[in-house]
Structure 1
Amino acid sequence: MIENECQRWASKGVNIWYQIRDNRVGYKAGALKDGLTHDYVKECKYVAIFDADFRPEPDFLQRAIPFLEFNPKIALVQARWRFVNSNECLLTRMQEMSLDYHFTVEQEVGSATHAFFGFNGTGGIWRIAAINEAGGWKDRTTVEDMDLAVRASLQGWKFLYLGDLQVKSELPSTFKAFRYQQHRWSCGPANLFRKMVLEIIRTKKVTVWKKLYVIYSFFLVRKITAHMVTFFFFCVVLPLTILVPEVEVPTWGSIYIPCIITTLNSVGTPRSFHLLFYWILFENVMSLHRTKATIIGLLDAKRSNEWVVTAKFGDSIKNKKSKHKTLKINFGDRIHVTELGFAGFLFFIGCYDFMYGKHRYFIYFFLQVITFLIVGVGYVGTVVPRS
């Protein structure tokens, strides 16, 4: 379809090319690197990058290119993602909340304060000179976008985020696809930090404060510690304090601060404010997978460079559902033992707190048990019918 469309425009005299690779060497980084090797690229100053499910508006380039053209210090213009299937199921609603907060707060603040912020891998335009100066695309991790952004930032290049420049895209609507995506997004940054920390320290082109910001704030806090703190505090430490009454977690640490942080996450998606409580329960479950992926990345273990393309289905699921009145579900593929194990652990803690505790944490524990059970039996996201 894309090839036919390119040929149609080429027949009208438009300078357009359709290129594909015959291998998957280097995965996405390899494809991006290969794309810049063609002769016609030498005549270009910028490269726009979109994943297959992204749909930019016709005036996307007209609105983005001027920022690069009139400011030679800018290497990247990043657009905001919008999601065409956010209402498909509760799983996509949860993702929308997390990603809208990321764009509304993290990317917006990083750009406005001229601090470092990462390239999102798609929906952006790069200055080719900046890519080349930073060393080009590298396939040493599964986050080639973050890898290039960090290296370009260490060369002194600036990035710009445009919140009003929006690109339509699709969220993974099956839990299996979402888990693979989250593994890549959590394992990749940790693995990149392991491989780049000395390079960041040794660079001389940026200030010490910039290096500290990238190492501490961007990597350690946001990409590594945040997952582990969420999982160990809410799913391990807090439950274990019920069994050891001598250890007491202050109310401000167990209730007030988590509630404030959770409320702030509704900034990007106010329409989903009523889902905030379930969102934090679901995020606690996912922090288990993110923590595991982060540890794998830090240790550079076997799965650290595992690349699985995130499945996006578009209208195919709706079409299948309309053709199949009865869904055939393979329950063996949907059972997740780790989540069910934590559900059992928290259920025991909840019962113990109900009988002997004094803080009434059992209300939270039982609700968290339900969430772990829902995920443990795979009853989350869109169910894809089998033929």
Structure 2
Amino acid sequence: MVEMECQSWVSKGINIHYQVRDNRKGYKAGALKEGLKHDYAKQCEYVVIFDADFQPEPDFLTQTIPFLHHNPELALVQGRWKFVNSNDCLMTRIQEISLNYHFKVEQEFGSITYAFFGFNGTAGVWRMAALDEAGGWKDRTTVKNELPSVLKAYRYQQHRWSCGPANLFRKMIFEIMRNNRVTVWKKIYVLYSFFFVRKIVAHIVAFTLYCIMIPASVLVPEVMIPTWSTIYIPTIITLINATGTPRSFYLVVFWVLFENVMSLHRTKATFIGLFETQRVNEWVVTEKHGDATRHKTELQQTQSRFKIGERYI
């Protein structure tokens, strides 16, 4: 379908190319690296990146390119995500709360304060010169819209999103420390606040406190936990997260329960990334609702409705 659309534009005289790889080496980073090797890509000043399940607005470029054009020192413009299937089920509504907080609070604050924040992997425009100066895409340092609507797919996605940053921290910490072009303050911010606290400690603390210590305090009266750490701080964090999605405020209780359950999987993935165990390079593409529906239909077409012994009717 994409190839046919490109051919349609080519017939109208538009300079557009359709490229595919015959392997998955380096996964997404490998695809980006391979794509930028082409001569026509090297002639471009900017590169726009979208995942296959994203639906950009027609004026996306006119809304983003001017920021790069009028700010020569700017390397990246990150677009904010919205979700076409956020109303599919309770799980997609809960994910929307977390991701809206990320974009509307974390990313917005990082942009306003000129602090470091990571590229979200899609819906962004890069200055080619900045990518070249940074050494291009590296599969060892790249981690990967429609929301996953089944728990299994969401777990795989969260494994990537938690394991990747932890592994990136392990691999890049000394390079960042040795970089002479970055101020000491920004190094401290990137390594301590962005990576260590937000990408590693946050998962471990959430799991330890809410899945181990609080249940233990209920079962063992001798275990005492300060009220401020079990009520006040969690309440403030929950309210801040809910501000990004006011329409789902009544779901915050479910969000808290869901996040506590997922903290186990995120903590496990974090340790896998830090210690580079066997699953560190695992890349399972997130199955979206359309994929699941198609797969289910295919199964129904290949299997009969009733099975008696070894015979199918």
TM-score, normalised with respect to structure 1: 0.75
Q: Distance in 2 between matches of 1:224 and 1:300?
A: 14
**Matching residue of 1:211:** 187
Q: Within 5 Å, which residues of 2 pair with 1:1-387? A: 1-141=1-141, 143=143, 169-314=145-290, 317=293
Specify whether residues 241 and 313 from structure 1 end up closer, same or farther in structure 2 by C-alpha distance, changes over 3 A only.
closer
- Tell me, in whole angstroms, the C-alpha distance in 2 between the residues paired with 1:121 and 1:230: 25
SS in 1 for 2:18: coil
Between the aligned partners of 2:156 and 2:234, the Cα distance in structure 1 is: 27
SS of the counterpart of 2:48? strand
d(CA) in 1 for partners of 2:223, 2:261: 24
Residue segments in structure 1 that go unaligned for 5+ positions in a row: 145-168, 329-387
Q: Secondary structure at the match of 1:265?
A: helix
Equivalent AA in structure 1 for residue 160 of structure 2: R
Amino acid at match of 2:45: K
**Matches of 1:83 and 1:107, distance apart in 2:** 17
Compare 194-203 and 99-108 and name the one that shifted more.
194-203
Q: Matches of 2:269 and 2:128 in 1, distance apart?
A: 32
Matches of 1:284 and 1:42 in 2, distance apart? 46
Are the aligned partners of 1:296 and 1:304 in contact in 2 as well (CA < 8 Å)? yes
- SS of 2:284's equivalent? coil
- Flag the 1:274–1:131 CA change in 2: closer, same or farther, 3 A: same
Q: Offset of 1:320 from its aligned partner?
A: 6.1
Contact 1:197 1:215 survives alignment (8 Å): yes
How far apart in 1 are the matches of 2:215 and 2:81?
A: 37
Report the secondary structure of 1:83's partner residue: coil
TM-superposed CA distance for 1:316, in Å, is 6.6
Contact 1:142/1:184 (<8 A) preserved: no
Letter in 2 for 1:193: F
Instruction: Supply the distance in 1 between the matched residues of 2:294 and 2:278 (Cα, whole angstroms).
Output: 36
Alpha-carbon distance in 1 for matches of 2:295, 2:279: 34
Instruction: Give 1:173's aligned amino acid.
Output: S
Deviation of residue 243 (structure 1)? 4.1
SS of match in other structure, 2:82: strand
Whole-Å separation in 1 of the counterparts to 2:241 and 2:25? 38
2:311 is aligned to none
Task: Could you tell me which runs of 5 or more consecutive residues in structure 2 were left unpaired when the two chains were aligned.
Answer: 305-313
Aligned residue identity for 1:226: A
CA distance in 1, matches of 2:43, 2:87: 42
Structure 2 residue identity aligned to 1:74: L
Q: CA deviation at 1:252?
A: 1.5
Contact kept in structure 2, 1:104 and 1:268, CA below 8 Å: yes
| Cα root mean square deviation, aligned | 1.9
What amino acid maps onto 1:140 in structure 2?
R
Task: Give yes or no for contact 1:83–1:170 (8 Å, CA) kept in 2.
Answer: yes
Amino acid at match of 1:33: K
Higher relative contact order (CA 8 A, sep 6+): 2
Aligned residues: 300
- Whole-Å separation in 1 of the counterparts to 2:6 and 2:200: 42
TM-score, reference length from structure 2: 0.92
* Cα deviation 1:5-45 (Å, max 9, x = unaligned): 00000000011110101111111111000000001112110
Structure 1, 244-253 or 293-302: larger mean CA deviation: 244-253
Equivalent residue letter for 2:31: A
Change (3 A) 1:267 1:82: same
1:77 positional shift: 0.5
* Preserved CA contact (<8 Å) 1:201 1:211: yes
Q: Is the 8 A contact 2:206 2:263 kept in 1?
A: yes
The 2-side partners of 1:319 and 1:134 are apart by 40
Cα deviation per residue 1:22-77 (whole Å; 9 max; x = unaligned)? 11111111100000000111211010000000011111111111111111101101
